[in-house]
Amino acid sequence: MTAHAAEPTPAVPPMPERNPKALREAIARHAPQLLPDFDEHWKRAIADTFDIGPLPAFLARWWVEYAIARDPQLDAHVDDLHHRAAEATDYAVAKALLEEVSNIRYGARELEPGQ
């Protein structure tokens, strides 16, 4: 029996600098499926209002969204957890699945640029 080399997994891109321009560029390059929602949220929350007050919350939300979406395996895992929670008939099971999602999202917000 011959050993097979493991399939090379594409590297997860690093987190960008923590600013709207760098985050948008990273999303456009590595998670383009998020771009329409990112742009619409930016327009609605920041650009159309000329108010930068919501900027920290905007960055926090999209930092986590990108952190998950940039890693296809993690993104699929989070989607699976959501799906299983939605289908669960036992409250404790659904709660545990959603707590796991919450823990993943919480950890993602702690990532630093370059990680």
Residue 33 makes CB contacts below 8 A (sequence gap 6+) with 69
Q: Residue 106 sits in which domain range?
A: 71-110
pLDDT at 1 over 60: no
Tens-place pLDDT, residues 43-73:
999 999 999 999 999 999 999 999 999 999 9
The pLDDT score that the predictor gives to residue 4 is: 45
The pLDDT, as a whole number, for residue 52 is 94
Structural domain tally of the chain? 2
State both tokens at 11: 């590297």
Could you tell me if residue 1 is inside a domain? Answer: no
Rounded Cα distance between 106 and 110, Å, is: 7
Q: Identify the band that residue 8 occupies on the pLDDT scale cut at 50, 70 and 90.
A: very low
Q: What is the pLDDT of residues 32-51, one digit of tens each?
A: 999 999 999 999 999 999 99
Residue 61 lies in a domain: yes
Q: For position 9, what pLDDT does the model report?
A: 53
- pLDDT tier for residue 3 given thresholds of 50, 70 and 90: very low
- pTM of the entire predicted model: 0.87
Same-domain pairing of 83 and 60:
no
Q: Are residues 50 and 75 in the same domain?
A: no
> Whose CA is closest to 39, among 53, 63, 20?
20
